Amino acid sequence: MSASDPQTLTIGWLYPTLMSTYGDRGNVICLQRRAQWRGFDVRVVRLDLDASADDFALIDLFVGGGAQDRQQEIVMRDLRGAKADTLSDRIEAGVPGSFTCGSPQLLGHYYEPALGQRIAGLGIFDFVTKHPGPDAARCIGNVVYELTAQPLATEIATDTGTTPLAIGFENHGGRTYLGDVQPLGQVLYGNGNNGKDGTEGAFYRRAIATYAHGPLLPKNPAIADWLLRAALEQKTGKPVTLIPLDDALVQPARSALLQRLGLQETASSRHK
Ligand SMILES: NC(=O)CC[C@H](N)C(=O)O
């Protein structure tokens, strides 16, 4: 198998050594397994400090997790020049990505940490993130949002037959304020981007930014499959149909949590 083999999916895991504080590794495992169960070969490339721009150029699907401010600063000193350009070009070209909490903060225009200097981001997403300071309350707890970003929301609704709700767990101090970019969804429970405007995450080209750990993708397999299909279609240039998997164990877990929060798996019962 090789990176150019259409049956091989190359997942690029951004800075796993520095940005694995919040269990987002589960997203990588989920994507890997769901692709393998359907007969695809998967290569997971760890894009750590020693990775090169050439490594970034081979990635079919990017995954980035959360981190603390200190680690985010180290990453941003590294993610410059050819690596940053290659990541931006790949996203711009339509390569999908799932970026959670600390990583999207670095892909917006800037992040202002709790202490210290503003960190310039890559500007892939049109948003800014500001941490109000070390004494400010963190946004911690379950988060549920209705996916609204297009075409993602409609495509997932068509696949699953329900209005897609995303379930996760947020834990952030930074508050994100969107510019000219679609939110990923509308908050039904929790804080989302900033606890004020009801938006959660962002969606640009085929890249997902979200505050939802959980990890996100095992709790929301429809999003995982949307990412896999997008990656395979981008790679092969052809429409891809994924074989359905048995997700019988996920649904009761989702329903139990939604019920606890006073929600259901349809949009019609929307309340907070
Ligand atoms: N969960 C995270 O990735 C945290 C990101 C960032 N350091 C914040 O507190 O906002």
At 159-203, the pLDDT tens digits run: 888 888 999 999 999 999 999 999 999 999 999 999 999 999 999
SS (H, E, C) 13-41: EECCCCCCCCCCHHHHHHHHHHHHCCCCE
Shortest-distance atom of ligand 1 to CA 171? 1
The number of the ligand 1 atom at minimal distance from the alpha carbon of 211 is 1
Q: Are 179 and 159 in contact (CB under 8 A)?
A: no
Question: Tokens standing for 38?
Answer: 């359907």
The strand order across the sheet containing 202-204 reads 41-47, 8-14, 61-64, 97-100, 207-210, 202-204
Residue 68 Cα: closest atom of ligand 1? 7
* Mean pLDDT within 127-149: 97
Residues within the annotated binding site? 138
On the question of pLDDT at 33 being above 60, the answer is yes
pLDDT at 86 over 80: yes
266 vs 231, residue with greater confidence: 231
**Atom 5 of ligand 1: nearest residue by CA position:** 102
Distance, CA of 178 to CA of 197 (rounded, Å): 10
Q: DSSP 3-state assignment of 233?
A: helix
CA of 216 to the centre of ligand 1 (A): 15
Strand 61-64 versus strand 110-112 pairing type: unpaired
Respond yes or no: is residue 101 known to be catalytic.
Answer: yes
Given a cut of 90, is residue 6 above it in pLDDT? no
Which pLDDT value is given to residue 4? 57
Q: Please tell me the distance between residue 71's alpha carbon and the centre of ligand 1 in angstroms.
A: 10
Cis, peptide link before residue 215, omega less than 30° from 0: yes
Catalytic residue among 30, 101, 139, 172: 101
Q: Which residues are annotated as a binding site for substrate?
A: 138
Q: 6: how many CB neighbours lie within 10 A of its CB?
A: 12
Round to whole Å and give the CA distance between 198 and 188: 8
Query: Region 35-53: what's the mean pLDDT?
Result: 97
The Cα–Cα gap between 32 and 146 comes to: 25
- Ligand 1 residue neighbourhood (C-beta within 6 Å): 22, 66-69, 72, 101-102, 105, 131, 171-174
Measured in Å, residue 256 CA sits from the centre of ligand 1 at: 27
Is the peptide bond prior to 151 cis by the omega test (within 30 degrees of 0)? yes
* Single-letter amino acid code for the residue at 179: G
At residue 161, the pLDDT reads 87
* Catalytic residue list contains 271: no
CA 186 – ligand 1 centroid, Å: 20
The ipTM (two decimal places) reads 0.96
pTM listed for this prediction? 0.95
Sorted by where each begins, the domain ranges of the chain are 8-269
Q: How far is the CA of 172 from the centre of ligand 1 (A)?
A: 4
Nearest CA to ligand 1 atom 4: 172
Ligand 1 atom showing the smallest separation from residue 66 Cα = 3
Domain 8-269 sits in CATH 3.40.630.30: no
Residue in 21, 106, 172 to alter for ligand 1 test, most ligand atoms within 8 A of Cβ:
172
Give the whole-angstrom CA distance, residue 157 versus residue 147: 9
Residue pLDDT, tens place only, 45-63: 999 999 999 999 999 999 9
